[in-house]
Amino acid sequence: MQGNPIELIVGLGNPGPQYQSNRHNAGAIFLNELCRVYNGQLRHETKFGGEFGTLTINGKDIKLLRPTTFMNHSGRSVAAVCHFFKIEPENILVAYDEIDFDVGVTRLKAGGGHGGHNGMRDIINALGGRNEFYRLRIGVGHPGHKSMVANYVLSDPSKSEAEVLMAKIDDATRVMPKAVAGDWEEAMRLLHTQE
């Protein structure tokens, strides 16, 4: 499937040092890794309610955003960048933690619902109900009961889980040249066959 090229990559998480290694910050951790590999830099931009930057992948400039609004208000930040740069939802990739996937499962997906993820719910609402953006779903596992989810995602993974998570984030970083060019079939094939 030839997809849309990516103009903006968003990494979801909560701001502040106490959250930086939490499972809920898997998307933000991915964005940091992308910056490390492709020499990107994020700087706080008040008008976007987040840390913003650009990097170049295969000669293409990609905008980066890490909302600093707390997860449940991520949409405010995403919508601000989209309005300012006139970016359509189908040219966005959002990276986030996925409790419905075990640690070690990472998937690219085009469109869909919010799956109960508050950050995703807020982004869809802020984009006027448009949900056709791409997703990078980084599996963090499930605590076993929904009453335990909030504490679980706001805690750090074990050392062994963190190592697997970083390996999967590395895999996702490696397929970004295909993804940003809109070669989604190849990006998915490469990422999904590495498990």
* Residues tagged active-site: 24
User: 25: number of CA atoms within 13 Å, CB side?
Assistant: 22
Cβ within 8 Å of residue 168, ≥6 positions away: 103, 104, 105, 106, 138, 139
Q: Which helix (H) or strand (E) holds 119?
A: helix 118-126
Is residue 28 classed as helix, strand or coil in its secondary structure? Answer: helix
What is the DSSP secondary-structure string of 129-189?
T---SEEEEEE----SSGGGHHHHHTSPPPHHHHHHHHHHHHHHHHTHHHHHTT-HHHHHH
What is the DSSP secondary-structure string of 76-89?
HHHHHHHHHHT--G
Is the Cβ–Cβ distance between 139 and 105 less than 8 Å?
A: yes
Cβ within 8 Å of residue 85, ≥6 positions away: 7, 8, 63
